[in-house]
Structure 1
């Protein structure tokens, strides 16, 4: 007798694996991940420069609002020569007031290199909720650069 059955009526072991169902499941999972992955990302919108960074030319008449984070995570706002220490809750209110008085004032963030990335992201998120569209980051040039 020919075919998958032998004389006793039992089936012979199959020596091939059908991978079609496995491929179908993998394609469905791929489509699901492609659709859901963009929805999972969160972040603070930052406009990154398209060229090598250079010092900002100070052509504006008004002083920028500089928000500083020191090594211990203390926040302070500097406008001109006036520096005030604030909490994260007060920061949003003060920035809103300053921007209402002088709309279009640039906002810059100066953070200590030892401050955690999470604190800087929280600060930038707070500034974004206060209505700041563009935030600049202050840095120092590496040693040896003129």
Structure 2
């Protein structure tokens, strides 16, 4: 039996596979960029604005605690944080890089006890 020479390569299956992969990439790329569903919300007469508080807590290198630029003790900060709504209010932590890690742990422990969900740790680039 005689073998045929392999002179030509059939690239049609390769082109089919590349086109299918291209369609998949384009379909997922448009889905990833448009993660929201556009909905025209109805209006109501009894509109109540959500009151979200943004609270800044800072600790300097000496271990002094500040609640919205007002120096307070850790116990007073604990009392004020326990009065906030953990699901709505935003807490931002400003820690001095040379402060002890224990100060950070103390604040995080208070926030964890109350169950805060919106916590941001402020850093610089």
Q: TM-score scaled to structure 2, two decimals?
A: 0.52
Note if contact 1:124-1:135 (Cα within 8 Å) is conserved in structure 2.
Answer: no
Note if contact 2:65-2:72 (Cα within 8 Å) is conserved in structure 1.
Answer: yes
Q: Find the counterpart in structure 1 of residue 106 from structure 2.
A: 122
Q: Find the counterpart in structure 2 of residue 106 from structure 1.
A: 90
1:60-104 Cα distance to aligned partner (Å, 9 max, x none): x855211100111011111xxxx322111111110122438xx50
Note if contact 1:92-1:130 (Cα within 8 Å) is conserved in structure 2.
Answer: no
Could you list the runs of 5+ residues in structure 2 that have no partner in the other structure? 1-50
Is 1:87 paired with 2:73? yes
Q: Give, in whole Å, the separation in 2 of the partners of 1:134 and 1:125.
A: 14
Question: How many residues are matched?
Answer: 76
Residue 128 of structure 1: CA displacement? 1.6
Could you list the runs of 5+ residues in structure 1 that have no partner in the other structure? 1-60, 142-146
Match of 1:77 among 63, 67, 70: 67
Q: TM-score scaled to structure 1, two decimals?
A: 0.45
Residue 116 of structure 1: CA displacement? 1.2
Q: Find the counterpart in structure 1 of residue 5 from structure 2.
A: none
Q: Give, in whole Å, the separation in 1 of the partners of 2:67 and 2:114.
A: 14
* RMSD, aligned CA: 2.4
